[in-house]
């Protein structure tokens, strides 16, 4: 078990980067990739028989399946038997296809990756048109806001922390400023569209995507990875959410709250520069812990930001857009069957203007 996962990522990168740039190095990278992926599976058997570190094995298996699926979507696999896949190959990879007609053709015989992938595609909507990406290899001391500040392409419907070994959503409540154990977790990003996910995905494959000096690994993921019988209507709900993310509602995960400050003098248009009054421009009755407590009722919070405004202003970024929508409607009073606590919050923030703020990931890629 010589640290198999990092080298696994190397294989993947080798295949992509290699095929993109150097024809000569392509073969070498591919060969090692082959070895590596088969090693994973054989190791899987070995390890489970010994009963060693089951989580690590599960994680590797999951990751390898995903890597396989990602590779498969490079739009090749003449032996996949899935014409759909060939036609709609993931565009990030589609460009590869144009340059190198069949970069992975030799890999087909090595292992039955088609089965793995098609199974994934049957179980789920698949990776085609997926708007979900998985970030892994995240080093310790990396905050969610730090990661999200480095992401671009478009707004996110939601983010989730998943258990690294089975991709189940972490059930423990997330407290916004508690550290995250990245040894045990991966980050799922659900974009608003496949197109925007591609924009970020392509950027994430370059060295320009660096968080605190480290490059994180990004993989495509099916929009739904575990069929959940309780969430049968999820497709319809998602559709509705996506509609609300578009004009005119422009729903976002971020909610901005503003409260006018009474008796505040206008400073614009003054003839001579003078420093602002330290007391008049300072609100002493704003309690961040109370705000976090109140808004946590609507869902998990990523962070609360001090917004720059002449009014007292702050922003709350939720994990899930539904939390922001819920909180907004609640404060605006257009929800019917509310519980007492939420009614109380609605009363408390009645004097505040509420609207959706900009998602930190809703920015174009610079270079």
Partner 1 sequence: MDEIPNLPLRHPLQYQTQKKLNYNDPDKTIYEKANFYVDNKYQIVNMLGKGSYGTVCSAVNLKSKGNPSLAIKKVCNIFNKEVLLKRAIRELKLMAFFKGHKNIINLVDLDIVYIKPYDGLYCFQELVEYDLAKVIHSSVQFSEYHIQCFTYQILCGLKYIHSADVIHRDLKPGNILVTSQGVLKICDFGLARGINEKFMKFTHRPPEITHYVATRWYRAPELILSRKNYGKPVDMWAVGCILGELYGRRPLFVGDNQIHQVSEICKVIGNPPRKVALGYESAAAWDFFCNSRPKFLKKDWSSLFPHANPHARELLSKLVCWDSSARLTVELSLESPFFSKVRSIDEEPVAREPFDFSFEWRVGSIEGLKEYLHDQVELFRDQMRETPRKI
Closest to partner 1 by CB, 131 or 342: 131
Minimum Å distance from CB 261 to partner 1?
Answer: 6
Cβ-based nearer residue to partner 1, 248 or 364: 364
Of 202, 27, 210, give the one whose Cα is nearest residue 107. 27
Peptide bond into 248 cis (omega under 30): yes
Closest CA to 344 of 330, 356, 355, 354: 330
**Least Å from the CB of residue 286 to partner 1:** 4
Distance CA(281)–CA(311), nearest Å, equals: 9
| C-alpha dist (Å) from residue 281 to 117, 260, 267, 271, 305 | 59, 11, 11, 20, 18
CA 146 from centroid of its chain's CA atoms: 13
Residue with Cβ nearer partner 1 (19 or 124): 19
C-alpha 34/C-alpha 185 separation (Å) is 27
Least Å from the CB of residue 252 to partner 1: 12
Nearer to partner 1, 88 or 259 (CB): 259
Rounded Cα distance between 115 and 110, Å, is 13
Shortest Å distance, C-beta 337 to partner 1:
33
Name the residue nearer to partner 1 (CB basis): 242 or 261.
261
Give min distance, CB of 339 to partner 1, in A.
27
Nearer to partner 1, 55 or 282 (CB): 282
Angle made by CA atoms 128, 11, 40, in degrees to the nearest 5 = 90
Cross-sheet strand order for the sheet of 156-163: 156-163, 185-191, 132-136, 217-221
Instruction: Report, in Å, the least distance between residue 149 CB and partner 1.
Output: 5
Is the four-CA dihedral 147, 149, 151, 154 of positive or negative sign? positive
Cα 284 from Cα 187, distance rounded (Å): 37
Under 8 Å between Cβ of 53 and 71: no
For the CB of residue 224, give the shortest distance to partner 1 in the complex, in Å. 27
**Whose Cβ is closer to partner 1: residue 21's or residue 99's?**
21
């Amino acid at each position: 078990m010589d640290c198999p996962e990092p080298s696994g990522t190397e294989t993947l990168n080798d295949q992509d980067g290699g095929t993109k740039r150097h024809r000569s190095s392509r073969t070498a990278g591919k060969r090692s990739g082959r070895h590596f992926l088969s090693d994973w599976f054989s190791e899987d058997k070995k390890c489970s028989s010994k009963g060693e570190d089951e989580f690590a094995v599960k994680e590797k298996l999951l990751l390898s399946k995903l890597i396989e699926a990602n590779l498969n979507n490079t739009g090749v696999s003449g032996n996949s038997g899935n014409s759909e896949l060939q036609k709609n190959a993931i565009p990030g990879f589609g460009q590869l296809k144009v340059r190198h007609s069949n970069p992975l053709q030799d890999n087909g015989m090595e292992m039955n990756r088609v089965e793995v992938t098609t199974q994934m595609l049957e179980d789920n909507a698949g990776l085609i048109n997926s708007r979900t990406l998985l970030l892994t290899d995240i080093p310790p001391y990396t905050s969610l806001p730090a990661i999200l500040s480095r992401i671009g392409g478009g707004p996110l419907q939601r983010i989730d922390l998943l258990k690294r070994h089975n991709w189940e959503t972490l059930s423990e409540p997330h407290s916004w400023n508690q550290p995250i154990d990245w040894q045990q977790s991966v980050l799922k990003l659900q974009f608003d569209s496949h197109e925007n996910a591609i924009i970020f995905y392509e950027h994430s494959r370059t060295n320009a995507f660096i968080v605190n000096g480290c490059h994180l690994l990004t993989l495509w993921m099916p929009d739904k990875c575990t069929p959940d019988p309780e969430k049968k209507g999820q497709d319809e709900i998602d559709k509705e959410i996506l509609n609300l993310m578009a004009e005119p509602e422009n729903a976002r995960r971020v909610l901005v709250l503003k409260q006018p400050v009474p008796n505040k003098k206008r400073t614009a248009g003054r003839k001579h520069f003078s420093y602002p009054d330290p007391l008049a421009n300072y609100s002493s009755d704003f309690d961040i812990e109370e705000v976090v407590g109140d808004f946590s009722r609507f869902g998990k919070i990523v962070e609360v930001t001090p917004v720059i405004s002449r009014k007292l202003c702050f922003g709350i970024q939720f994990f899930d857009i539904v939390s922001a929508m819920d909180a907004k409607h609640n404060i605006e009073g257009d929800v019917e069957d509310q519980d007492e606590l939420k009614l109380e919050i609605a009363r408390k923030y009645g004097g505040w203007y509420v609207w959706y703020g900009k998602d930190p990931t809703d920015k174009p890629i610079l270079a």
